[in-house]
Amino acid sequence: MNHFILLLSLFLAPALADKEGQKTNQNFISNNASHKRQKRDWIWNQMHIKEEIDTPLPHHVGKITSSVRNSNAKYIIEGEYANTIFKVEETSGDVYAFERLDREKKAEYELTALIIDRRNNQSLEPPSKFIIKVYDINDNAPVFVQKVFNGSVPEMSPVGTPVTKVTAVDADDPTVTGHATVTYQVIKGDEYFTVDDSGLISTARADLDRETQSTYEVIVKAKDAPGFSGDSSTATVIITLSDINDNFPVFKHPSFHFKVPENISVGGEVGRVKVEDIDEPQHRNTKYSFVRGDYRDTFEIVANPYTNEGIIRPKKPLDFEKVAEYRFDIEATDPTVNLRYFKAGGSKSISAVVIEVTDVDEPPVFTKLPYEFRVRENDPEIRTLGSVWAHDPDAAKRKIRFIRRRASPNGDYIKVSDTGIIQLPKPLDREFSSSYNITVAAKEILEDGRLSDRESHAQVHVIVTDENDNAPELVYPEEPRVCENAAPGKVIVRISATDKDEISPRGFFRFSLATEDSNFSLVENYDNTANITVKYGQFNRELAKIHYLPVIISDNGDPDLSSTNTLVISVCKCNEKGNFTFCEERAKQVGVSVQALVAIFICIFTIIVLFAVIILLILLRKRHKKDLKGLGRNVAEIHEQLVTYDEEGGGEMDTTSYDVSVLNSVRKNGIKPEAAPSPYAQVQKPPANITSGAGEMEMMIEVKKDEADNDRDLLPYDTLHIYGYEGAESIAESLSSLGSGSSDSDIDYDFLNDWGPRFKMLAELYGSEPNEDFVY
């Protein structure tokens, strides 16, 4: 119905404009004369409207009016929310809100009022801005800024100790009394904590114990009106009690029992005792100590900073044979506990400890460490320095055998017997080494005669005392020289000496000349040096350019040792200022070190070995050639021969290589002349009843082939034998038919009759008729 009336009034606004305008102006002028503008003709009431009005829309906000009297006047409003949220009745100027307003979203609206002529839309009065304010109603409950708050407070804190603060906000207008005033109340956990109007939560008791309850859940309510009226909301507060050191440690067990071998190292772990401390780890500062027992010097107990356990460790070696069991009491306490929060039950906890030592097979124990012996050097009478001794610490009491392990310097200078006697195979030389160190191992002898695997070691130091057995030596200066015109008393050189033996603090060297010298003098400086000076001067280089001066040096030792050293002095030409201008070059004294001598010896030995190897190879080669020569022919000749013959053609160098009697024996029915058999071939003769001729030769060849096949000393049967060569210096051509292109029937062998008596047999074998003129 209200909507209908509003719409009807908007349509009838032009007709009623004048009447309503006059009435409105009269009311406005009479009631609000003070608001009349001097420079304008706008007149209106101050506009206010409550938020969230629950009556039907639209809601009347106010009225704008103008002093302009015009029947055609029309009111309009402009702005962001004009004609949407707010609308004006054109003729009366009443402003209506067509939506429910929320002050928490927008508290003020700024609009512009205009009055125009509806006929031509011309402004009848300049525009004017006005503000519509929204009045607050208490329509918002306080809201906590977070649903859950967290706080912490040390346990056992006094009453009123602040814990944390909660905050709730109210969106209503704080200028309106009671609309945005927030108060707080603990509705859960109020027996432990309280809250004030500012939201500060504090402790309500002084006996809050973390070990009893460490966390509390508190619910706080916030409301915005005093008393029991008004809206409210709640939030949860989680309060944690932080730990303080208010509890002493307590042993978990009344006693502890440990077993440990007797060979445990000093500082090793025997065992651990455990305590219980209900405080947090940062407040666990347990201190362990001995209460009863006489073993404070044997064991110690320290606290592990991470686990708070007590670690028992030996302070010295344990010995099963002496003490097999240890019993003592220990206590645990915490000196950092705050005594203000001391609780009943005692500040200390005591527990009994039993440590059982078990027996192990220990290595022998030396009675003294280390051993030191002194011996005079080069004393041939001293063969034994002393002995080392060790015993078996176990109950078995086995015998001990001693073994030398290491020595410095390395070598058999010092030996150790099985019974531990330190022996000297030969006298020691202090100049070689002033001290000798050896390591002696001791092992137990088991029942079966074997040595135990466990051993102990002792260091033995042998100090060699010095004997005066080395004469002093001259420290040769670099090329002593003297001017030929040197004045008497001129110092040529200062000489000094050295001695391989030890020099006592009061010891000194004495210098003297071996013979009286006419050119030089020796003057003692009494500081282990001496000066060589010119005696008379005016040297003659024509007579002697080099002088040899023998110097005797003694060491004043016991016994007194001396040595004669030759000092070589060159006479040189000098200028007027005494500077050397010319000296003959002389060979410098060159010494060869031991290392150089060893290197030279190794080189010489290597050369000798190489030379011996070369000689051996030469001898072997000669022997090999001799063996080949014993065969009587070279390799080429052996390859040429199928059978050796006693005779050959004249003029050849191999006349001893062929035995022609073999061929004769075949030709003469197997009767072989009495001749020495060839050392290279023994031919099996064919049967005597075989007729001579071509068949005999074939038979002979077959026999030779069989001998060649069965002779192991000949070349393999598949070797290619070439018979195309003859002896050196032979005037005949090759007798081999292997290279011939014709058969035997095409060759005329009559020319063999012309070769003389030596080829008569061949002429008879191959020729037609023998020549009767041959003379043998």
- Looking at domain 143-242, its CATH superfamily turns out to be Cadherins (2.60.40.60)
Q: What does the pLDDT read at residue 471?
A: 87
CA pair distance 526, 578, nearest whole angstrom? 28
Q: Which of 174-183, 514-523, 637-646, 716-725 has the lowest mean pLDDT?
A: 637-646
Beta strand 255-261 pairing with 299-303: unpaired
Summarize the confidence of residues 714-735 as an average pLDDT.
54
Q: Of 9-18, 195-204, 534-543, where does the model show the most confidence?
A: 195-204
Q: Is residue 696 within 8 Å of 690, Cβ to Cβ?
A: yes
Say yes or no: do domains 143-242 and 473-588 share a fold: yes
Listed in sequence order, the residues at least 6 apart from 299 whose beta carbon sits closer than 8 Å to its beta carbon are 270, 290, 312, 313, 314, 315, 326, 328, 355
Q: What does the pLDDT read at residue 22?
A: 37
CA pair distance 334, 249, nearest whole angstrom? 7
Q: What does the pLDDT read at residue 351?
A: 92
Q: What does the pLDDT read at residue 220?
A: 93
Q: What does the pLDDT read at residue 20?
A: 37
Q: Of 43-47, 155-159, 626-630, where does the model show the most confidence?
A: 155-159
CA pair distance 520, 567, nearest whole angstrom? 11
CATH architecture of structural domain 365-465 = Sandwich (2.60)
Identify the residue with better confidence: 33 or 121: 121
Q: Could you give the 3-state DSSP secondary structure of residue 147?
A: coil
Sign of CA dihedral 409, 414, 415, 421: negative
Proportion of the chain above pLDDT 70, given as a percent: 73
Q: Is residue 212 within 8 Å of 177, Cβ to Cβ?
A: no
Task: List b or e across 207-220, with b for residues whose CB sees 16 or more CB atoms inside 10 angstroms.
Answer: ebebeeeeebebeb
CA pair distance 637, 707, nearest whole angstrom? 19
User: Phi and psi for 271 in degrees, rounded to 5?
Assistant: 180, 180
First to last CA, the chain: 186
Task: List b or e across 538-571, with b for residues whose CB sees 16 or more CB atoms inside 10 angstroms.
Answer: ebeeeeeeebebebbbbbbbeeebbbebebebbb
Summarize the confidence of residues 764-775 as an average pLDDT.
56
Identify the residue with better confidence: 43 or 631: 43
Identify the residue with better confidence: 301 or 586: 301
User: Phi and psi for 306 in degrees, rounded to 5?
Assistant: -100, -40
Identify the residue with better confidence: 170 or 404: 404
Amino acid at 304: N
Summarize the confidence of residues 543-556 as an average pLDDT.
87
**Does the pLDDT at position 467 exceed 50?**
yes
CA pair distance 164, 635, nearest whole angstrom? 123
- Number of residues that make up the chain: 776
Model pTM score? 0.41
Identify the residue with better confidence: 65 or 604: 604
Summarize the confidence of residues 266-282 as an average pLDDT.
90
- Helix (H) / strand (E) element for 486: namely none
**Does the pLDDT at position 640 exceed 50?**
no
pLDDT tens by residue, 206-230 = 889 888 899 999 999 988 765 445 5
**Does the pLDDT at position 353 exceed 90?**
yes
Q: Is residue 208 within 8 Å of 218, Cβ to Cβ?
A: no
pLDDT tens by residue, 297-307 = 899 999 998 88
As a whole number, the mean pLDDT across the chain is 77
Q: CATH number of 250-358: 2.40.50.1070, 3.40.640.10, 2.40.50.180, 2.60.40.60?
A: 2.60.40.60
Q: What does the pLDDT read at residue 544?
A: 85
Q: Which of 440, 270, 415 is nearest to 364 (CA)?
A: 440
Domain range summary for the chain, segments of one domain joined by +: 2-135, 143-242, 250-358, 365-465, 473-588, 604-631, 635-741
Q: Is residue 216 within 8 Å of 151, Cβ to Cβ?
A: no
pLDDT tens by residue, 402-432 = 999 888 887 788 899 999 999 988 888 888 8
Place of tokens 């005779």: 647
Instruction: Name the class of domain 2-135.
Output: mainly beta
- Looking at domain 473-588, its CATH superfamily turns out to be Cadherins (2.60.40.60)
Proportion of the chain above pLDDT 90, given as a percent: 21
Summarize the confidence of residues 325-341 as an average pLDDT.
86
Going from the C-alpha of 550 to that of each of 55, 513, 516, 521, the distances in angstroms are: 147, 6, 10, 11
**Does the pLDDT at position 751 exceed 90?**
no
**Does the pLDDT at position 343 exceed 90?**
no
Q: Of 47-51, 128-132, 766-770, where does the model show the most confidence?
A: 128-132
Q: What does the pLDDT read at residue 159?
A: 92
Q: What does the pLDDT read at residue 310?
A: 93
**Does the pLDDT at position 150 exceed 90?**
yes
Q: Which of 138, 166, 145, 144 is nearest to 224 (CA)?
A: 138
Q: Which of 641, 648, 637 is nearest to 732 (CA)?
A: 648
Tokens of 264: 């445990």
Q: Which of 111-115, 171-175, 439-443, 697-701 has the lowest mean pLDDT?
A: 171-175
CA pair distance 378, 694, nearest whole angstrom? 101
Summarize the confidence of residues 278-304 as an average pLDDT.
87
Q: What does the pLDDT read at residue 6?
A: 40
